[in-house]
A and B are shown apart, each in its own frame.
Chain A
Amino acid sequence: MITLVFILQLLGFLCLMLAMNKHVKQAGNSRLLTQVLRVLPSPPFTQLVGWMLLIASSCLALTRIEIISIAIVWWCCTLSAALLTVALYFSSLCDT
């Protein structure tokens, strides 16, 4: 369950970053992200999808983990991990 929450957060941040012009340039260094960018509609819609995915991740954590307080801690921890992963991935694209 937590893995799924983490994946949703990861995709959410990816969408948020791809909705920004600055990161679209970096994404050009990745074949995969170039393909993703082709599929994605306009930036505001991508941004909306990003936020929706983050909200979905929190709903999933809160409904599927029995104890709400522990669910919140889990969500916050995986949020940081997802953000770090996406930031490091985009930074690695700057190198290439």
Chain B
Amino acid sequence: MKATFRKSMIWLHTYLGVILGWLLFAIFFTGTLSYFTPEITRYLMPERGSISQSQQLMIAHSFSYLNKHAGEAEEWRIALPLERSALWSVQWREGKQRQTVTFNNQLAARENETETKGGLFFRNFHYTLQLRGYGGRYIAGIAAMAMLLAIFTGIYTHRRFFKDFFTLRPQKIKKWTTDFHALAGILTIPFCIMVCLSGIFIYAIMYLPYTANANFERGERGVNRQIIPSLPSLQLDEKVIGSDNLLSEPPSTSTPVPNYAHILEKIANQWREPNSIARITVEGVGYKNSRMIVERSKATTVSNRADRLVFETYTGKSLEGYDDETVPAQIRRILYGLHQANFAPFGMRWLLFGLGILGCALIATGNIIWVTQRKKSAKQNPFTLALVEKGNVAAVAGLILASVSFFIANKVIGQDVAGRAQLEVNTFFTVWALSAVHAFLRIKAAVAWKEQFALASGLCFVTVAIELVLFRDRIVRSVEYLDSVYLSFIPAFFASGIILYWAAKKIGLRITNAEIVAKNTKPSTYEK
């Protein structure tokens, strides 16, 4: 314990940052990219062009396809595309086997889809650290708890900043870094508390299993069963015959067609926003008491569970549906929804992305400040200092490099190469490891920073070049269909390239200035 409470807080803030900074940066950076998970997946899959068909037409086509190809299935699912994902698919289940087919804008089933992890790679890495089943989610949870502690202790550490009311002192780089660290901290306080707290809540039962195990029969599953409402199980006995169907036209095939037109009319009166349906599930296909569950899009709710309506499949009659969720379940869903931000419209998504990047900058500047201060005081063990200083390069610049490499790998690995999804992931980790080796081989960390930023900048421009050269047809098609999601990636990479180049240039200038100062001071020392 330190002499004063504030000193203890400063100590805790400093060492939480130094010990967990790299991990937190990786979680924050990949989490920030995850705000655009469906968009990234779409960018990495050339066949995912925009879908401009009306929901009614897509539903009609999906049912007609399922009727033709999956008449004997027990369950059908239709996932309708959002502008973000452009993924329109149907899925059916026969016994334990599930089959999925995706469609394009021309209503044709896509035969070969690009094998890629897409944006899900960053999302999964963000909370499992690619260690699912090996404690990755526990590590991420500990990091989130540490981040919360670091935020609260940071308020004590940087309390002068509140007094000064947000002044950045641009004249001196060290002061500017400290000010920027404090400013980024203040700006992201609500954001960081929200993401850390909601992140912990998502896996709350997993992190604290004892209460669930002590009070519920099947532990976590038992809790979920109790708090998440479900529909009663279906007793399927009687098959539908022609007269049971309210459709004006008798079905041409043996499997009856659901009375979706009537259902859609009912839904249109309740859900007024455009493209309100996200998913349709038909349980007990072909049976009299089959039911259709229609799930609303998440654009109108912060919760990660949107409204659901239940109908009798073949008569279109409304059924009772799901019970209201319990308050704990609602809180958990709202926190989950806030964390994922599926509700966020375009502008808000970019603001959240910006806050995520500020969060990354907060963590990175924290670690840089530690190194700078320790260098100044010359009290730190040189090995530890070099380890943290060079580790910072690998954790920050290396991760950026690795992420851009992931995109390039997706673009240059041939479509027919077996296991290409894994190759993309391997590229990511190989580049990250190489960046660490490079950082530790360089005598001066500043040189490593400069070179890695310059390389990352170059790779961003290479990504743009690859897109312009190899995917010209896709660009033309996207311009024709005004596919803003795909097209926005090109300027985004270009802008990232410029920012990274600017950073590399700034660091380069600092190295040159430092060398000039060193040259000028050396002779005078000898003279003395």
Interface on A for B, CB 8 Å cutoff?
2, 16-17, 20, 22-23, 26, 67, 69-70, 73-74, 76-78, 80-81, 83-84, 86-88, 90-92, 94-95
Contacts and interface: CB of A to CB of B under 8 A. Distances in A.
B169 A22 contact: no
Contacts of A83: 166, 186-187
A79 B332 CA distance: 25
A69 B168 contact: no
Contacts of A16: 165
A88 B169 CA distance: 10
B164 A22 contact: yes
Q: Which of B164, B187, B301, B358 has the most CB of A within 10 A?
A: B187
24 contacts: A17-B165, A23-B167, A69-B301, A69-B302, A70-B343, A70-B348, A73-B338, A73-B348, A76-B190, A77-B351, A78-B351, A80-B351, A80-B355, A80-B358, A81-B351, A83-B187, A84-B187, A87-B168, A87-B183, A90-B168, A91-B168, A94-B168, A95-B170, A95-B171
B301 A67 contact: yes
B169 A94 contact: yes
Nearest to B188: A80
Interface of B: 164-171, 183, 186-188, 190-191, 300-302, 334, 338, 343-344, 347-348, 351-352, 354-355, 358
Given A81-B354, A84-B183, A84-B187, A73 B167 contact: no
B354 A20 contact: no
B325 to A, nearest CB: 15
A90 B166 contact: yes
Contacts of B191: 76, 80
B334 A69 contact: yes
B348 A77 contact: yes
Contacts of A70: 302, 343, 348
B201 to A, nearest CB: 16
Contacts of A76: 190-191
A20 B165 contact: yes
A86 B301 CA distance: 31
B225 to A, nearest CB: 27
A91 B167 contact: yes
A78 B348 CA distance: 9
B190 A91 contact: no
A74 B187 contact: no
Given A67-B300, A84-B187, A2 B168 contact: no
Contacts of A80: 187-188, 190-191, 351, 355, 358
B149 to A, nearest CB: 21
A53 B295 CA distance: 40
